[in-house]
Amino acid sequence: MTVESTAARSMSRRSGTGGKRATKKTASAQSDAGGQNGTTATTAKRSKSAKKTSAKPASTKTASTKTTKAAKSAKPAKTARASKASTSGKPPAAQRNANGSAGTELVQLLTPEGERVEHPDYAIDLTDEELRGLYRDMVLTRRFDSEATSLQRQGELGLWASLLGQEAAQIGSGRALRDDDYVFPTYREHGVAWCRGVDPTKLLGMFRGVNNGGWDPTVNNFHLYTIVIGSQALHATGYAMGVNLDGADSAVIAYFGDGASSQGDVAEAFTFSAVYNAPVVFFCQNNQWAISEPAERQSRVPIYQRAAGFGFPGVRVDGNDVLACLAVTRAAVERARNGEGPMLVEAFTYRMGAHTTSDDPTRYRRDEERAEWEAKDPITRLRTYLEKDGLADEAFFASVEEESEAMGKHVREAIRTMPDPDTMAIFENVYADGHALVDEERAQFAEYLASFADADSADSAASAGEGR
């Protein structure tokens, strides 16, 4: 990864092209072609350089002089660089997965062209009905998401965080969970909520401002949306530590993005989960952009490799491949249930829309970048596979489309008829057994609201008098 000089960054800001330049670097550094990234290219370049050097043996005098200079300077930085330039062909331990495979490998079971491929460590065998179910899940989730975006544009919601492009990561991982597993989401996991059986319209209340989360987390083992970036990783770790103490065999999963991976809360969660061998899976949806900052400014290495520094395995999966996300997450939660501790899954995907409806991605991303990822669309990919292998017919696709239209209508009606909250409800559930200060504040606020009613009554009486 290339880091711009201070002067270059200053110039790019003045010229207004900094975002485009950063985007080009991100696209090249994080290309998922063949599951490779910039690490492999760098290693190959160093290997080639090393071969050129060894082709021409240096004279005894030159070698002796260099050795003497190296001994005198003895700079640790150079020693570190020399060790990095090893040409053994095997990546260092920090860049290897738990199964020993190359750390740059991208787990993929369904190519962007809709071709089914196998992976030696993550096999999956689904029925035709299950495959069609995954397609239906993604289509309905996308329709709900697009409807919510439209409702925000019409003033029905204050804000909305779209999942467009991340359906495979969410549906694949969500369908890998058991009912007794517990989910800690961010504010974008609409697809996971769907898999957990949460009514989609319940997700809209917080964004409309009528509640602080419209569902009971204990009913579906799906925690309320978390707005504070990264804090849910700590909540998940604490819950998982409790699962261990209870002697249960369920697993916990925490969702966060590439931007949240830079938060201290996430690092602390990694530390505690590793030390206490907590049954938690950290699922990072690396959608390339933390609002307007590219992933290259979040980490110097691929995010999944950071798990090695905390003592547990990490793996990178094609986040636009619903089959791979399902297989990898299923393996990760089973590992957690078996007492093998935490695991980090990095779903390498792309946010095709804005960060939220208050964001304008055209200010920092190239149109070509989005077009490149649209060709890897997770829904189109699975549909191509179903059609090629004769696993679904036109009647099935038509029925899913009809169902999505009905969902859109249901969501529109639900949001427009959603009642305003009880104004006094803000004082409820602050303390389990009540509190004198809260009671005092409740009474003061009730008196304040009543003053408006008195004023309205006085105005009405005055108007009536004038009419006579």
Confirm whether 355 is a catalytic residue.
Answer: yes
Measured CA to CA, the distance from residue 22 to residue 275 in angstroms comes to 37
Do the Cβ atoms of 353 and 287 come closer than 8 Å?
no
Measured CA to CA, the distance from residue 102 to residue 313 in angstroms comes to 13
- Of 9, 46, 364, 442, which residue is the catalytic one? 364
- Of 132, 142, 306, 355, which residue is the catalytic one? 355
Q: What are phi and psi of 315, to 5 degrees?
A: -145, 145
Do the Cβ atoms of 191 and 174 come closer than 8 Å?
yes
Q: How many CB atoms lie within 10 A of CB 235?
A: 17
Q: How big, in percent rounded to 5, are the helix, strand and coil portions of the chain?
A: 55, 10, 35
Do the Cβ atoms of 229 and 263 come closer than 8 Å?
yes
Q: How many CA atoms lie within 13 A of 395 on its CB side?
A: 0
Q: What is the DSSP string of 342-410?
A: -EEEEEE----S-SSTT--GGGTS-HHHHHHHHTT-HHHHHHHHHHHTTSS-HHHHHHHHHHHHHHHHH
Q: What number of helices (H) and strands (E) belong to the chain?
A: 17, 8
- Of 96, 132, 306, 351, which residue is the catalytic one? 351
What tokens were used for 171? 């549906």
Largest pairwise CA distance in the chain: 117
Nearest to 449 by CA among 431, 430, 424, 414: 424
Catalytic annotation, residues: 351, 355, 364
